[in-house]
Amino acid sequence: MPIVMLPDGSQRAFDRPVTVAEIAAAIGAGLARAALAGAVDGRLVDTSFLIEVDARLRIVTAKDPEGLEILRHSTAHLLAQAVQSIYPQAQVTIGPVIEDGFYYDFAFERPFTPEDLALFEARMRELAQADLPVRRRELPRDEAIAHFRALGKRYKAEIIGAIPAGETITLYGQGDWEDLCRGPHVPSTGRLGAFRLTKVAGAYWRGDSRNEMLQRIYGTAWSDEKQLKDYLHRLEEAEKRDHRRIGRELDLFHFQEEAPGAVFWHPRGWTVFQGLIDYMRARQNAAGYREISTPEIMDRELWVQSGHLEKFGENMFLTQTPDERVYAIKPMNCPGHVQVFRHGLHSYRELPIRLAEFGRVHRYEPSGALHGLLRVRAFTQDDAHIFVTENQITEETVRGIGLMLSIYRDFGFDEVQVKFADRPLRRVGDDAIWTRAENALQEATRAAGVDYTVNPGEGAFYGPKLEFVLKDAIGRDWQCGTWQVDLNLPGRLGAYYVDEHSDKRTPVMLHRAIFGSLERFLGILLEHHAGKLPAWLAPVQAVVMNITSRQAAYAAEACEFLKNQGVRTEIDLRNEKVGYKIREHTLQRVPYLLIAGDREVGSRSLAVRSRSGKDLGAMPLEEVAARIAGDVASRGRRCMED
């Protein structure tokens, strides 16, 4: 009879096989009510799972990350049941958990409407209140295919058909509804309640544009109403901060169909973009990097040799010239940097060699995945590659991590999570090399004093990496920078240095990006600061405006003076009330609003207001320039007076 070991080290003996639910009840009524699933010897199972032999058990509740995922997946099933109860002819396909929620794809004769979503959500609440028990059963694979075909559910039959023969298939049902799923699920629909359907969109079956278009319904689910309410508030705030909206309001950039996934920068947006480059260039120069530039188009054979064409080819743009030579538009800068390193003989005494580039790259992204600046096809990387000996990996990584965290702080990101991503399924190099690289990166990360979590299987195809995840002002996570240890690519491309014994050695290449994509980082910045960029980065740092036409000449003189002092200044001489002008430029998030009235003309001063509405009083022109210059020079995270 089973003995069950609990997380606190205590044991419970039972005189018969016992379910997870029964064990939770034996521990306490509160735990029984909270139990959503169990982890038996590390494997997630339903509360109905029968334990027949000795095992370790952890009861999973909504407080656990796995519990929240189970809630969300079970709510996706609740949605599918609701849709099919209203529209029986709708076919269900897949319904996975995603960040902060779930979605389910349906095949239906017409697009779903907002009115449909309201109907579906109301029906979901009815099904939840009915507290329907959730049941699990197993079928042999071929029998499961026949079962779903008999029901006319061809998508489910196709999914099962891709599963290897001989596998056992699990089905989950609630009431008179049943679906294919590996589980686990909540014990009953009554455990579900804190949910909301958020939107509907189109999606291709299996993500392939050659397949039919489906209807994708998105939703969110949480363990209680407070968490749901907080999340919906974050969604509202995110909508206000949407960088695409801010880009239109501030006249920074636009996109159009003639160049999908590529940015048309307007003068103000290009000013901010160049400000990011100037900042990073200064930091890199101070840290010992040398800037280079490599071609955007290189022969296909280089990408074959590097392994990119095999592992990354579906995301690359290829072109053929009239002489039938095939070129690739670079998706990454790495091979080009190796060519620069190879162009000359290097001694071990020269290492580390730090090469940096603001490299323009192109990657194919499906049109449905494009999203403003955050997901593009053409972008600029603040890419660097550092050539070192294996003995230098730790010291250079400690140095590099310090630089990255310092830069993130300058932009207002104090909370940075680091993830260690190890070998992916698709990779180059043998396992021994990967083990060396992973061990070296882990050792270096520990030496840097950085805590990290593991992101299994998400390394680059040539080496393990650290991912730097920034938390923004409303609690969202953004993966930006990476630091990678590469023991594969330099050797594949013939890079070497001469060691102290005059022997040729293959260097280690450390790949480093801090912004990652400058376009994406700027989108994140706009949302993080709600468009109120710090004064040093703002496209317009100050606006001079007159009250009446009498001050026009002086306002123009003041504007020119500030420009000559290096302040990005504009002038507003429109025949409008000054209050209207102030409001308009406040909405444009201009850090400093400078007003010239008769008094200011007489004293050669300006009345200074911040975009937050703070009245800073009148100041002589020279003091205004010095104050703004001090703010800009300090690279403050926000305007000093916000």
Position 203 scores a pLDDT of 84
Kindly report the pTM of this predicted structure: 0.80
Q: Give the sign of the dihedral formed by CA 149, CA 153, CA 154, CA 159.
A: negative
Do residues 612 and 642 lie in contact, with contact meaning Cβ atoms separated by under 8 Å? Answer: yes
385 included as an active-site residue: yes
Residues 148 and 83 in one domain: yes
In a domain, 295, yes or no: yes
609 included as an active-site residue: no
Residues 369 and 486 in one domain: yes
In a domain, 392, yes or no: yes
Query: What is the domain-level CATH number for residue 74?
Result: 3.30.980.10
Residues 48 and 81 in one domain: no
pLDDT bin (cut points 50, 70, 90) of residue 638 is low
Structure tokens given for 29:
């009524």
- Helix, strand, or coil (residue 223): coil
Query: What is the domain-level CATH number for residue 520?
Result: 3.30.930.10
Q: Please determine, for residue 368, whether its predicted confidence score (pLDDT) is greater than 80.
A: no
Higher-pLDDT residue of 641, 578? 578
Mean pLDDT of 619-634: 91
- Helix, strand, or coil (residue 13): strand
Alpha-carbon distance of 357 to 77, in angstroms, equals: 48
Query: What is the domain-level CATH number for residue 21?
Result: 3.10.20.30
In a domain, 315, yes or no: yes
Per the residue annotation, which of 81, 381, 484, 551 is the catalytic one?
Answer: 381
Per the DSSP assignment, residues forming a β-bridge with 354 are 386
Q: Please determine, for residue 352, whether its predicted confidence score (pLDDT) is greater than 90.
A: yes
The CA-CA-CA angle for residues 174, 180, 181, to 5°, reads 90
Residues 145 and 267 in one domain: no
Residues 555 and 510 in one domain: no
Per the residue annotation, which of 123, 185, 362, 511 is the catalytic one?
Answer: 511
Position 53 scores a pLDDT of 92
| Mean pLDDT rounded to a whole number for the chain | 92
Per the residue annotation, which of 383, 422, 572, 631 is the catalytic one?
Answer: 383
Position 213 scores a pLDDT of 87
Each residue's pLDDT tens digit, 545-585: 999 999 999 999 999 999 999 999 999 999 999 999 999 99
Residues 267 and 230 in one domain: no
Number of domains in the chain: 4
Each residue's pLDDT tens digit, 199-234: 998 888 877 778 888 999 999 999 999 999 999 998
Query: What is the domain-level CATH number for residue 550?
Result: 3.40.50.800
156 included as an active-site residue: no
Residues 50 and 89 in one domain: no
pLDDT bin (cut points 50, 70, 90) of residue 617 is very high
User: What stretch of H or E contains 9?
Assistant: none
Per the residue annotation, which of 185, 243, 334, 637 is the catalytic one?
Answer: 334
Mean pLDDT of 126-154: 91
In a domain, 457, yes or no: yes
Residues 442 and 490 in one domain: yes
Q: Give the sign of the dihedral formed by CA 221, CA 222, CA 225, CA 229.
A: negative
Residue at which a domain ends, from 465, 498, 528: 528
Each residue's pLDDT tens digit, 500-517: 999 999 999 999 999 999
Domain that holds residue 562: 542-633
559 included as an active-site residue: no
Residue owning tokens 């996706």: 76
Structure tokens given for 554:
């002086």
511 included as an active-site residue: yes
Residues 285 and 371 in one domain: yes
Position 208 scores a pLDDT of 73
In a domain, 641, yes or no: no
Each residue's pLDDT tens digit, 279-333: 999 999 999 999 999 999 999 999 999 988 988 888 999 999 998 899 999 999 9
Bridge-based pairing of strands 353-362 and 290-291 is parallel
In a domain, 126, yes or no: yes
Q: How far is CA 61 from CA 12, 26, 94, 169, in A?
A: 20, 16, 25, 26
Per the residue annotation, which of 385, 529, 568, 609 is the catalytic one?
Answer: 385
Residues 409 and 322 in one domain: yes
Per the residue annotation, which of 268, 377, 465, 609 is the catalytic one?
Answer: 465
Residues 599 and 474 in one domain: no
Each residue's pLDDT tens digit, 391-437: 999 999 999 999 999 999 999 899 999 999 988 888 888 888 889 88
In a domain, 547, yes or no: yes
In a domain, 618, yes or no: yes
Alpha-carbon distance of 525 to 530, in angstroms, equals: 8
Beta strands per DSSP E along 280-352 = 290-291, 297-299, 317-320, 326-329
